Amino acid sequence: MKATFKILSTALVLLSACGGNPNSGSNSQSAEDRFVDSVVNSLTLKQKIGQLNQVTAGQVEEMEALAASGMMGSILNEANPQNLNRIQKAAVDNPPHIPVLISRDVIHGYKTIFPIPLGQAASFDTALVRQGSEISAVEASSDGIRWTFSPMLDIARDPRWGRIAEGYGEDPYLTSVMGAAAVRGYQGNGNLSKPTSMAACAKHFVGYGAAVGGRDYNSTYIPMRQLRNVYLPPFRAAANEGVATYMSSFNDNDGVPSTGNKLILSDILRGEWKFDGFVVSDWFSIGEMVNHGFADDMKHAAERAINAGLDMDMVANAYKDNLEALISEGKVSEKTVDNACRNIVRIKYRLGLFTNPYISTSQDVKYAPAHLAAAQKSAEESAVLLKNNGVLPFKNFKKILLTGPMSDAPHDQLGTWVFDGEKSHTVTPLVALKDAGYEVNYVPVLTYSRDKNLSNLSKAIAAAKTADVIVFVGGEESILSGEAHCLANLNLQGAQSQLLEALKKTGKPVVSVIMAGRPLTIADDLNNSDAMIYMFHPGTMGGPALVNLLSGNVTPSGKLPVTFPKSVGQVPIYYGQNMTGRPASGHEVLLDDIPAEAGQTSLGCTSYMLDAGFGPLLEFGFGLSYTSFEFSDFNINRTSFSGENDEIKVTFLIKNSGNYDGAEIPQLYVRDLSASITRPIKELKAFTRVFLKKGESKKVELSMPLSSLKFFGLDDKEVLEKGKFTLWIANSSNVDKAAWKCDFEVK
Ligand code: GLC
């Protein structure tokens, strides 16, 4: 009670500076600004610097002392509510009585684990992504976590990069709408002061996914126009959604580490996007500017970071140890520190921490049935059917031979970046198939994804004789994707492909299920499977989701959010590339067809690989269904448009012409045929999910504002250019198979 009184009295003192009612704002300066200014103006320089300091969890007594000293603006990696209340009390009871911002990596769930973000992107269901983030916030905030380092908005076009798992894939539009949905879900659907909300964090700002060679932390060389047109849009969408924080990325882009990059942290983020939250560094990334060779020492790194606009120092102690000296030496102005402190206090105010700093440790919402149901729905919608020769859904199969290293892998099924989800709550395919009443003969053969020991192969082959169907569940252990976990070879690990090949030879139908954190090079495995379902690490309820998909209770509807290469030699490969001056025709001569002593130019001179052709194994937006859909009756509102507020609307009919209820995801792609700079051969600009019972038809509208045709051109200005465009309505980015194509013009 005493502590609460203290914070309330402090808040009241400070609020009185705002004229009492915290919501009054009729004067020129809002109540929020008045409150924030009153707090910051009441602080000593040391206390201001304390707000810029984020520490990682340690002995609770040490954390209490640091909080009491006012040098803990934020803490991460502590999730014990009792400890957090103790730390919070120490901060609130002692000057300057400012609550600590408690943070954690809640990336795809807190206790209830959802599919990894790359999987959630495959659902093309923004409402479900928002719901998942909202549930994550409800569970995490019940333990006192009020700030998550999510969503990750890095465009990733290189599956060698382990962190492709954590984002929403290769496309700027899909990543933008998914990221905005996640921000909305975390941040209380626009009400950040709800005690069940969390401040979100748009990371890693910016360009981190373009690491050279797909090797994490490596340099990136993204020119300004590509930064503007490909890598920045999702972060801009997060700003438009009101994201509370950003995190600077580890990479140096074209020689400048993001953590010290004024152009992105100040000029673009605040100057152009009017962002008024705060920017936190990534783990020790201020200190890493010394490694980069961008700072002489930690003090110089602190100077370069704060002057670039980096507000909070994650665990480097660079600000805590150096800012006072830098100010006294005139290298950093106190105003700069004031602004950083103001940004941080503003977010604490919006979170309601000044009036509600503590958590009630009585509520327990973790693993609530509704949360598990949402996680299962997310896992169902995130699954992508890559092949099906008719073996799915199960007809009268009762006896299942279940094999493969991910069949009963409760830890690995959860995927990367899971600190609080417990594997004891994971429902694996083995458990779920048994619960569903199937007669399961479980012969894993391989006990983990990298396992090369096939000594039990004969047992599986023998077991196949009495099985109606073989279900192989393989993929990657969770440690093989995520931060610092990059791969030069994307084939299934260990002896999984050999196992599949042997299973195929039994002549029994083989259904493969892959649980991975990235696209893998699975061409041979597809050939050895009668059907394949790709479940990017599906989370806690992956097992029941899979059973619903195999049995046909749910029809797969996922679409690939990232291109699958034929081989790692094709990487980077993505659908939104430029046309080039010599686009592949699709009729190129491939390796095996090259005649002996072929003439120098006899094979044609276009952009392709002799041993891989031009296209990928599976394209962005691809995904099969158990049913079939027919698109018809297309109409476009006009074919001539002008002005960015104009809107293109395409209506059409979709019919479920097959035998199963299911959802389709019609996609709208556009190409700018000729512009002041070369433009992508196609860009996703709209999509929707349409659920149809078998035989049902629905009228659908896909629309896009003309403003979405804008791009940053030669003079680094965003322009909508006049000219001719082509639009497709398709069910994947393979527009050669589009249901409809239409040319239009911007005048
Ligand atoms: C890590 C990651 C970042 C994470 C942070 C805190 O190094 O790069 O995504 O949020 O540190 O754990």
Question: Tokens 């048994």 appear where?
Answer: 434
Pairing between strand 101-104 and 74-76? parallel
Say whether pLDDT at 192 is over 70.
yes
686-745 pLDDT, tens digit per residue, is: 999 999 999 999 999 999 999 999 999 999 999 999 999 999 999 999 999 999 999 999
256 alpha carbon – ligand 1 mean position (Å) = 20
Interacting residues of 284 by C-beta distance below 8 A, sequence separation 6+? 314, 315, 316
Per-residue confidence (pLDDT) for residue 628, from 0 to 100? 98
142-182 pLDDT, tens digit per residue, is: 999 999 999 999 999 999 999 999 999 999 999 999 999 99
614 alpha carbon – ligand 1 mean position (Å) = 36
284 alpha carbon – ligand 1 mean position (Å) = 9
Which residue is catalytic, options 143, 158, 282, 311? 282
What residue's CA is closest to ligand 1, atom 12?
105
What residue's CA is closest to ligand 1, atom 7?
283
Q: Is 282 a catalytic residue?
A: yes
Per-residue confidence (pLDDT) for residue 360, from 0 to 100? 76
Say whether pLDDT at 14 is over 90.
no
Pairing between strand 718-719 and 711-712? antiparallel
Best residue among 55, 105, 208, 285 to mutate for probing ligand 1's pocket (most ligand atoms within 8 Å of CB) is 105
Q: From CA 156, how far away is CA 133, in angstroms rounded? A: 21
Q: Which atom of ligand 1 is nearest to the CA of 149?
A: 10
Interacting residues of 507 by C-beta distance below 8 A, sequence separation 6+? none
Per-residue confidence (pLDDT) for residue 17, from 0 to 100? 43
654-674 pLDDT, tens digit per residue, is: 999 999 999 999 999 999 999
Q: From CA 189, how far away is CA 181, in angstroms rounded? A: 9
285 alpha carbon – ligand 1 mean position (Å) = 10
79-114 pLDDT, tens digit per residue, is: 999 999 999 999 999 999 999 999 999 999 999 999
Per-residue confidence (pLDDT) for residue 604, from 0 to 100? 82
Measured from the Cβ of residue 317, the count of other Cβ atoms closer than 10 Å reads 17
Per-residue confidence (pLDDT) for residue 29, from 0 to 100? 80
Whether residue 572 is preceded by a cis peptide bond, meaning omega within 30 degrees of 0, is yes
Q: Considering only 213-217, 385-389, 587-591, which range has the smallest mean pLDDT?
A: 587-591
Q: Which atom of ligand 1 is nearest to the CA of 107?
A: 10
Per-residue confidence (pLDDT) for residue 28, from 0 to 100? 66
Percent of the chain exceeding pLDDT 90 equals: 94
Q: From CA 451, how far away is CA 453, in angstroms rounded? A: 6
Q: Which atom of ligand 1 is nearest to the CA of 250?
A: 8
Best residue among 483, 485, 486 to mutate for probing ligand 1's pocket (most ligand atoms within 8 Å of CB) is 483
**Diameter of the chain by CA atoms?**
90
Per-residue confidence (pLDDT) for residue 361, from 0 to 100? 62
Question: Tokens 């300004």 appear where?
Answer: 224
Best residue among 259, 282, 417, 420 to mutate for probing ligand 1's pocket (most ligand atoms within 8 Å of CB) is 282
- Kindly list the distances between the CA atom of residue 14 and the CA atoms of 11, 22, 322, 496, in Å, as whole numbers in the listed order: 5, 10, 29, 63
DSSP 49-101: HHHTEEEE---HHHHHHHHHTT--SEEES---HHHHHHHHHHHHHSTT-PPPE
237 alpha carbon – ligand 1 mean position (Å) = 21
What residue's CA is closest to ligand 1, atom 3?
282
Count helices and strands in the chain by DSSP H and E runs = 21, 28
Q: Contact 347/278 with Cβ under 8 angstroms?
A: yes
637 dihedral zone (left: phi>0; alpha: psi -120 to 50; beta): alpha
What would the two tokens of residue 450 be? 């990298």
Per-residue confidence (pLDDT) for residue 19, from 0 to 100? 39
Q: Contact 111/421 with Cβ under 8 angstroms?
A: yes
Per-residue confidence (pLDDT) for residue 643, from 0 to 100? 87
337 alpha carbon – ligand 1 mean position (Å) = 24
Three-state DSSP state, 252: strand
Q: From CA 492, how far away is CA 514, in angstroms rounded? A: 9
Q: From CA 686, how far away is CA 703, in angstroms rounded? A: 7
What residue's CA is closest to ligand 1, atom 8?
282
Dihedral over Cα of 364, 366, 367, 373: its sign: positive
433-473 pLDDT, tens digit per residue, is: 999 999 999 999 999 999 999 999 999 999 999 999 999 99
262-273 pLDDT, tens digit per residue, is: 999 999 999 999
Q: From CA 362, how far away is CA 144, in angstroms rounded? A: 12
282 alpha carbon – ligand 1 mean position (Å) = 6
Q: Which atom of ligand 1 is nearest to the CA of 249?
A: 8
Question: Tokens 């020991």 appear where?
Answer: 453
Say whether pLDDT at 27 is over 90.
no
217-242 pLDDT, tens digit per residue, is: 999 999 999 999 999 999 999 999 99
Per-residue confidence (pLDDT) for residue 21, from 0 to 100? 36
344 backbone dihedrals φ, ψ, rounded to 5°:
-70, -45
Q: Which atom of ligand 1 is nearest to the CA of 166?
A: 9
What is the band of 409 on the pLDDT scale with cuts at 50, 70, 90?
Answer: very high
Say whether pLDDT at 501 is over 60.
yes
Interacting residues of 592 by C-beta distance below 8 A, sequence separation 6+? none
Q: Which atom of ligand 1 is nearest to the CA of 150?
A: 10
Three-state DSSP state, 144: coil
Say whether pLDDT at 557 is over 50.
yes
29 alpha carbon – ligand 1 mean position (Å) = 36
Measured from the Cβ of residue 593, the count of other Cβ atoms closer than 10 Å reads 10
314 alpha carbon – ligand 1 mean position (Å) = 9
Give the CA dihedral 121, 124, 125, 129, nearest 10 degrees.
Answer: 10
What residue's CA is closest to ligand 1, atom 1?
283
Best residue among 149, 206, 486 to mutate for probing ligand 1's pocket (most ligand atoms within 8 Å of CB) is 149
DSSP 535-593: EES--TTHHHHHHHHHHTSS------SSPBPSSGGG-S--TT-B--SS---S-PPPGGG
Name the amino acid, one letter, at 390: G
Q: Which atom of ligand 1 is nearest to the CA of 201?
A: 10
Name the amino acid, one letter, at 583: P
The mean pLDDT value of the chain amounts to 95
Burial class of residue 465 (count of CB atoms within 10 Å of its CB; 0-12, 13-18, 19+): exposed
3 alpha carbon – ligand 1 mean position (Å) = 32
Say whether pLDDT at 1 is over 80.
no
Q: Which atom of ligand 1 is nearest to the CA of 152?
A: 9
Q: CA angle at residue 117 from 376 to 347, to 5 degrees?
A: 110
Q: From CA 593, how far away is CA 603, in angstroms rounded? A: 10
What residue's CA is closest to ligand 1, atom 10?
149
Residues in the ligand 1 pocket, defined by CB under 6 Å: 76, 105, 149, 203, 282-283, 483
Question: Tokens 């990221």 appear where?
Answer: 179
335-360 pLDDT, tens digit per residue, is: 999 999 999 999 999 999 999 999 87
Nearest to 75 by CA among 414, 353, 422, 355: 353
Buried/exposed code over 159-194 (b: 16+ C-beta within 10 A; e: otherwise) = bbbbbbbbbbbbbbbbbbbbbbbbbbbbbbeeebeb
Q: Contact 250/217 with Cβ under 8 angstroms?
A: yes
Per-residue confidence (pLDDT) for residue 227, from 0 to 100? 98
